[in-house]
Amino acid sequence: MAVLMAVAGCSDTGGGGADEVANVSGGKPSAKTTTEQVESELAEYIDGMRAWVGCMREAGVDLPDPDAKGNVKIDIPATEWKREPKYLRAQEKCVDKQPSLSDSLEKAQQPEPTEEEKAKRREYATCMQDNGAPDFPDVGEDGYFVEENWDSTSAGAKSASRTCDKSVYGVDHSTVAPKG
C-alpha cells in the first residue's frame, strides 16, 4: 500500500488564499512583499527537505526528491515506516534535518476556497455562534476561519456542532455507528 506523506506538519484549521499577512507593527505588507517572502520561505523549506532526503538516503532509505512544494512521496507502507528498525533508525538519525513548515507557508500552499465554500463556512460559523458556541471563530475575507481560541469541548459547542453539521453540511451524527 503506497502512502503519500507530506513529512511536514499538517493542519486542517484553515488558512490559505490570502495575499497579505499582518506584520509585527500591525500593518499589512504589500502582496508583492508577501509573495516574495513566501517564495523565499518555500525555497528555504525545499532546501531543508532536500537535506533531510539526503540524510535519509545516507541512512539507507531511498526517498525521492521533494516536489515543487517540498512534499516527499513516501511509498513505504505506514506500518513499516512506523515499526521497521531500518526506517526508525534513519528517522531518528535525520530528525534534526527535517524542517518545519511555517504557518505562513502552509497557508500559502492551501487552495483558495470557492465562493460556495466561503458561503458555507460563513453559514456554519453563524450557526455555531447561534446554537451554543458564541466563541466560534468568524470567517475572514479570504474564506477561512479566523484563528481564535474557542472551547470546542463545551457542551454548547458539541451540541452546536451536531446541529450545524446536519443543517449546513448534511452530516447526521446520530446515524454514525460508534466505534467500539
pLDDT digits (tens, 9 = 90+) for 20-57: 333 233 333 334 447 888 889 999 999 999 999 999 99
| DSSP code of residue 72 | B
For residue 37, the model assigns a pLDDT of 85
Q: What is the mean pLDDT of the chain?
A: 80
For residue 111, the model assigns a pLDDT of 82
How far is CA 28 from its chain centroid?
Answer: 23
Q: How far apart are the two ends of the chain, measured CA to CA in Å?
A: 25
Of the candidates 59, 65, 147, which has an alpha carbon nearest to the alpha carbon of residue 96?
59
Q: CA–CA separation, 132 vs 128, rounded Å?
A: 6
DSSP lists the bridge partners of residue 145 as 139
Q: Does the reported pTM lie above 0.85?
A: no
For residue 176, the model assigns a pLDDT of 52
Counting as low any pLDDT under 70, the low residues of the chain are 1-33, 174-180
DSSP lists the bridge partners of residue 72 as 5
For residue 102, the model assigns a pLDDT of 85
For residue 101, the model assigns a pLDDT of 86
CB 142 within 8 A of CB 17: yes
The helix (H) or strand (E) run that includes residue 157 is helix 155-169
